[in-house]
Amino acid sequence: MSAFKTLDDLGDVTGKVALVRVDLNLPMQDAVVTDDTRIRAAAPTVLELAEKGAKVLLLAHFGRPKGERVSTQSLSMVVGAVEKVLGKEVMFVPEIAGDVVKQAVGILRAGDIAILENTRFWKGEEKNDPELVKAIAANADFYVNDAFSAAHRAHATTEGLAHVLPAYAGRSMQAELEALDKALGKPEKPVAAVVGGAKVSSKLDVLKHLVTQVDHLIIGGGMANTFLAAKGVDVGKSLCEHDLTGTANEILDTADTAGCTVHLPYEVVVSKEFAANPPSLRACNVHEVAADEMILDVGPLAVEALSDVLKTCRTLVWNGPLGAFETVPFDAATVALAKTAAALTREGSLVSVAGGGDTVAALNHAGVAGDFSYISTAGGAFLEWMEGKELPGVAALSV
Ligand code: ADP
Ligand code: MG
């Protein structure tokens, strides 16, 4: 990870105008915010800048209005929820550049906060149009990016602004980058990665990158079936991408060359139907799966063996559940391995970083999300980072 400036590097910002890119792409129902996690993530940066006396202008996108003003996607809808989290009054400005913003800046006092309109109402946002970048920057003195979740996109407000204004990482961006660096940048070895989820095809680049980076790759979930099939195992009616068995073998070969040990389940939980607690449920060796059975979770003995692997490791990065965790008892392997990782982290012997929509849900379900060293809620950006890609929004911050 290259170096970047943080809020610690700011001089006196009293009365200066800060453009702060945050993630306000909030879950909403009938124009009401149903989950304020992302606001709470941005709050430390916004409040710190306000306390330092800056005039804080928040920039964010909401939904996919594709360069048009769509009234049902106006960020005016989130003002109340943001005020509630910040405990401060917040002004709404229905533009992102030009005289209206200039006038608002004139009205704001040092320490005041405003939310500008949905950046994606302007076509230049997603095109990273230099004219739009210039126009937004014209009303401000410096730029802070606190939206890691949008950093995989080179848009005007996620990347462009960093080139025309003094640029800083916000606290939430800083925490994310530091955690990810500890997990894959300069990790303490041995490093284990858990990759699960439904399909190999959705995580090919993640697997290809990880086998060159980690000491142990634990593959679970539906994607393990494709690897088992590649090794000649009959996986019955399991979810399996038979057309990708060649690719799976290539990944196993790369792992071999790189000295990465790949752990596939040798024992699995199977059932004839996909339902909660089905009567046909059983655990068996991978070589004993019947033609009419589906593999829906890693077996209890295999999970114990995986726990033993984690006990020998210092760092863990995890994306994807080990089984169809939404349906009991196919959550068992994910919950058991998550509990082991959590206990090792609490003891101080493991740095554990996890991310992915369903992964975060699974770790919450296991009741251990708070025990992991870091949980990323960044979705697409987290996966691109796991693929070893340089994120444009992060690269633009580097000094
Ligand atoms: P994330 O959102 O954390 O990146 P994914 O979306 O890749 O994770 O994968 C999660 C999905 O994979 C879950 O819906 C889960 O039910 C499914 N899954 C895991 N194991 C299996 C399996 N053996 N068979 C079918 N689906 C599975
Ligand atoms: Mg998912």
Nearest ligand 1 atom, CA 295: 23
Measured in angstroms, how far is the CA atom of residue 276 from the centroid of ligand 1? 16
**For residue 130, cis peptide bond before it (omega within 30 degrees of 0):** no
Point out the catalytic residue in the list 53, 67, 236, 380: 380
Both ends of the chain: CA-CA distance in Å? 11
The pLDDT confidence band at residue 2, using thresholds 50, 70 and 90, is confident
Average pLDDT (382-397) is 95
Task: Give the model confidence (pLDDT) of 141-189 as tens digits.
Answer: 999 999 999 999 999 999 999 999 999 999 999 999 999 999 999 999 9
Average pLDDT (234-246) is 97
Query: What is the model's pLDDT at position 213?
Result: 96
151 near 383, Cβ under 8 Å?
no
Residues with CB under 6 A from ligand 1: 196-198, 202, 221-222, 239, 295-296, 319-321, 323-326, 356-359
Measuring CA to CA, which residue among 80, 75, 82, 45 is closest to residue 61? Answer: 75
Task: Give the model confidence (pLDDT) of 264-322 as tens digits.
Answer: 999 999 999 999 999 999 999 999 999 999 999 999 999 999 999 999 999 999 999 99
Q: Is 380 a catalytic residue?
A: yes
Q: Residue 381 above 80 pLDDT?
A: yes
Task: Give the model confidence (pLDDT) of 125-152 as tens digits.
Answer: 999 999 999 999 999 999 999 999 999 9
Query: What is the model's pLDDT at position 379?
Result: 87
What is the sign, positive or negative, of the torsion defined by CA atoms of 203, 204, 207, 209? negative
Task: Give the model confidence (pLDDT) of 244-262 as tens digits.
Answer: 999 999 999 999 999 999 9
Closest C-alpha residue for ligand 1 atom 9: 197
Q: Please count the other Cβ atoms lying within 10 Å of the Cβ belonging to residue 272.
A: 16
Point out the catalytic residue in the list 16, 38, 171, 203: 38
Q: Please count the other Cβ atoms lying within 10 Å of the Cβ belonging to residue 291.
A: 8
Q: Residue 49 above 90 pLDDT?
A: yes
Q: Residue 1 above 80 pLDDT?
A: no
Measured in angstroms, how far is the CA atom of residue 321 from the centroid of ligand 2? 9
313 near 190, Cβ under 8 Å?
yes
Is 51 exposed, middle or buried, given 0-12, 13-18 or 19+ CB atoms closer than 10 A? exposed
The residue assigned the tokens 């982290």 is 345
Least confident of 202-206, 269-273, 320-324, 326-330: 202-206
Measured in angstroms, how far is the CA atom of residue 201 from the centroid of ligand 2? 13
Average pLDDT (312-335) is 98
Query: What is the model's pLDDT at position 102?
Result: 98
Q: How many CA atoms lie within 13 A of 141 on its CB side?
A: 14
The pLDDT confidence band at residue 226, using thresholds 50, 70 and 90, is very high
Query: What is the model's pLDDT at position 266?
Result: 98
Average pLDDT (108-119) is 98
- Residue 297, sorted as left (phi over 0), alpha (psi -120 to 50) or beta, turns out to be beta
Measured in angstroms, how far is the CA atom of residue 358 from the centroid of ligand 2? 5
The pLDDT confidence band at residue 13, using thresholds 50, 70 and 90, is very high
Nearest-10 Cα torsion for 12, 14, 17, 21: 70
Test site for ligand 1: of 317, 335, 358, most ligand atoms within 8 A of the Cβ: 358
**Ordered structural domains, the chain, with CATH:** 7-171 (3.40.50.1260), 187-386 (3.40.50.1260)
Query: What is the model's pLDDT at position 74?
Result: 97
d(CA 342, CA 353): 10
Ligand nearest to the CA of residue 268, numbered in listed order:
1
d(CA 221, CA 323): 5
